[in-house]
Structure 1
Amino acid sequence: MADNSSLVGGQSLRRINERVIIVQILVMIFLCINLLLIMTFFKKECFYKTTRYILFAVTLLSDSFLLFMSNIILIFNHFEFTMPVWLCIIISVVVILYFVVTPVTLTAMTLERYVAICMPLRHGELCSQSSTVNCILIIHALSSVPFIIVFSIFFASASLSFYTQYRVCTIQIFILYRWQDDIMAGVYQFYFMLMCIAIVFCYAKIMKVAKAASGEQRKSTWKGLRTVILHAFQLLLCLIQLWCPFIETAVLQISFKLFIDVRYINYLTFSLAPRCLSPLIYGLRDETFVHALKSYIYDFFGLTKRNI
């Protein structure tokens, strides 16, 4: 009986290790793709002078930071590595901040498409380079609210000795009261409700213009509409991620093995997947960006189109 239990435990540990390796491979692939796109962005002057490309670069940087830092936490938690609480605070601030930055930036990108299609005469004025810089500052200010709430309560409640203790780094160690969870859930739901309203509003307005448009304008408008739909799908995945902890807690009461399986699926589907959609939506679907990307790859490897 003991041997069987030992065998089951070994198989479970091996399966979890294989999953960690799979996650590392996926994260490395996404980070390499993001890095390639970021380098392409800085290669052409027109990209960092155009609002939609600047916001696209913000999402790439945000997703890269989030993938890198959350992956560190995943590895540390898997092997039960401990660290000082003060270091965990720094890592958690980055994770919470950039968890929110991406969906807020996606909403800003949707609004930019709305202005470009529905208010073309004012697009240059409203989406200038200086306006975009202010927009990025506003995005980060809005995205800072959740971690400010979490850590303000934590700093007011925790003793000084707690910061030097060594703990496994999870956001749960900063949640000292049940009502903190409720406040955080309320803040996230409020944010995503506003984002959903903005997406639906832009979709309705662009759809109205698309029906009235003709020729080349109609083609451009429908492309913008598809972009809005893809942004909405990304936001949906991010919204579902908010409910994952509640689902995992309920599953844990049933079976620990099932809890491990569900948490792994949730991480792949609602954490990794939304972060790999940005390159698809605004990178590989954009002809100008794809052309610049190909040119950069050819130059980097010293190739020509004839060689390819």
Structure 2
Amino acid sequence: MQNSVINSNLSLHVLTELSRSLLVKMTLVQVLVGIFLYVNCLMIFTFLNKAVFREDTRYILFAQTLFVDSALMILTDMLMIMNLYQYRIHMIPCIIVCTIATIFTICTPLTLVAMCLERYVAICMPLRHADISTSRNRCFGFLFIWGISSIAPLFTLVAYLFVVPPGALFSYALCSAELMMGEEWQAQTRAIILLILVLFMMIIIVFTYIKIMIAARAASSENKKSTNKSLRTVLLHAFQLFLCVVRFLTPYIEMAFWKVDFLVFHNVRFSNFVVFIIAPRCLSPLIYGLRDEKFFLLLKHNTLCGLTAFCQIYSVKGK
């Protein structure tokens, strides 16, 4: 009898500690996500507020990363909250959300590659840059990015619908992308598609870096500063791409821990969320929002105007 009471107290203590740990983690994540979304919304407003940015391919690609990353952050944060608190949802909206989130996940690194190609054209082919960066070519480029981004998610969706047991679509479950990879061949085929995409992106990144590096060595003193800055931009994009690529592997890592220990699984998932979802997407504002002089000046102006307006509203309410 005494042993059962002791075991009950220990179980209650473990549950209390687990709940406290989850609360701390969720609070930290919501603060990080809130800051990220605030900065992104401010940058999106800055982009939309200036016509010169809306006509430049580099800034249009940057704006796409802001839109996609913000949407992805909201979806993944929502899924993580539901999983941490064991909230089950209907399978049909679950697979729709997971498919969209996966498209967004792949779209970001592909957009980064497109931004590196844009820098390559601007530095290595400056006379042809205006002819290449037309609105027509931009439309084809965006269609290509979204089309390639949809290959793996749509394959996963069709394969899941092909093998799903009757009635499973009308059940409720903890929503995650792993639910759509019940068969081993599904996970292997998806991994092969992603591997081909990763190799394709890495080849382009290395190609653009080498070409810009050659142009930097041959550039005159007047153009050397701009060329070196583009070289550092490509390096930052390469690091950002590396973090995004590792994100493709995290579901397989998390699935291994799922069978070992529930608490370890949630710790691994939390760490992956912070390091491989939040961190790489915080680099985009740093690369273009703070390093770009034109964009930074307008961003600073909008931020100060927003704070001034907020302080005026607050002081009026205080009176």
**Could you tell me how far apart the structure 1 residues matched to 2:30 and 2:166 are?**
35
Q: Distance in 1 between matches of 2:250 and 2:176?
A: 15
- Listed as ranges, the matches of 1:140-289 within 5 Å are 140-159=146-165, 161-252=167-258, 255-289=261-295
Superposition CA RMSD, Å:
1.6
Q: Say whether residues 1:9 and 2:25 are aligned partners.
A: no
Shift of 1:38: 0.3
Of 53, 58, 82, 2:64 maps to 58
Q: Between Structure 1 and Structure 2, whose CA radius of gyration is higher?
A: 2
Aligned to 1:70: 76
- Once residues 234 and 35 of structure 2 are traced to their aligned partners in structure 1, the CA distance between those partners, rounded to angstroms, is 26
Deviation at 1:255, TM superposition (A): 4.3
Q: Is structure 2 residue 116 aligned with structure 1 residue 106?
A: no
Counterpart of 2:142 (choices 123, 130, 136) is: 136
What is the CA-CA distance between 1:266 and the residue it aligns to? 1.6
Q: Distance in 1 between matches of 2:172 and 2:261?
A: 29
Question: Quick one: distance in 2 between partners of 1:164 and 1:253?
Answer: 25
C-alpha distance in 2, partners of 1:245/1:173?
11
Shift of 1:6: 2.0
> What is residue 317 of structure 2 aligned with on the other side?
none
Moved more, 152-161 or 33-42: 152-161
What is the alpha-carbon distance in structure 2 between the residues aligned to residue 153 and residue 4 of structure 1? 45
Alignment match, 1:47: 53
How far, CA to CA, are the matches of 1:89 and 1:249 in structure 2? Answer: 18
Deviates more, 1:50-59 or 1:205-214: 205-214
Contact 1:199 / 1:232 at 8 angstroms: preserved in 2? Answer: yes
Structure 2: gaps of 5 or more residues: 1-5, 310-319
CA contact (8 A) 2:156 2:181 kept: yes
What secondary structure, in the 3-state scheme, does the structure 1 residue paired with 2:50 have?
coil
2:144 is matched by which residue type in structure 1?
I
1:4, 1:134 → 2: CA distance?
61
8 Å contact from structure 2 (residues 84, 266) kept in 1: no
Q: Which residue of 1 aligns with 2:316?
A: none
Q: CA deviation at 1:104?
A: 0.3
Deviation at 1:13, TM superposition (A): 2.0
Given candidates 109, 124, 127, the residue that maps to 1:121 is 127
TM-score by length of 2: 0.90
Conserved in 2, the CA contact under 8 Å of 1:50 and 1:129? Answer: no
Contact 2:254 2:269 in 1 (8 A): yes
Runs of 4 or more, structure 1, over 6 Å off, are none
With 98-107 and 290-299 compared, the bigger mean Cα shift is at 290-299
In 2: Cα distance, 1:8 partner to 1:155 partner: 39
* Count of equivalent residues: 303
Q: Tell me the distance in 1 between the aligned counterparts of 2:109 and 2:303.
A: 29
Q: Per-residue CA shift, 1:219-277, capped at 9, x if unaligned?
A: 00000000000000011111222222333344455544333322221211111101111
Encode CA deviations 1:137-160: one digit per residue, 9 max, x unaligned: 111111000111001112222256
Q: Distance in 2 between matches of 1:270 and 1:34?
A: 18
Which amino acid in the other structure matches residue 140 of structure 1? W
Counterpart Cα distance in 2 of 1:274 and 1:111: 19
| Structure 1, unaligned runs of 5 or more | 304-308
Conserved 8 A contact 1:31-1:64? yes
The alignment's TM-score, normalised by the length of structure 1, stands at 0.94
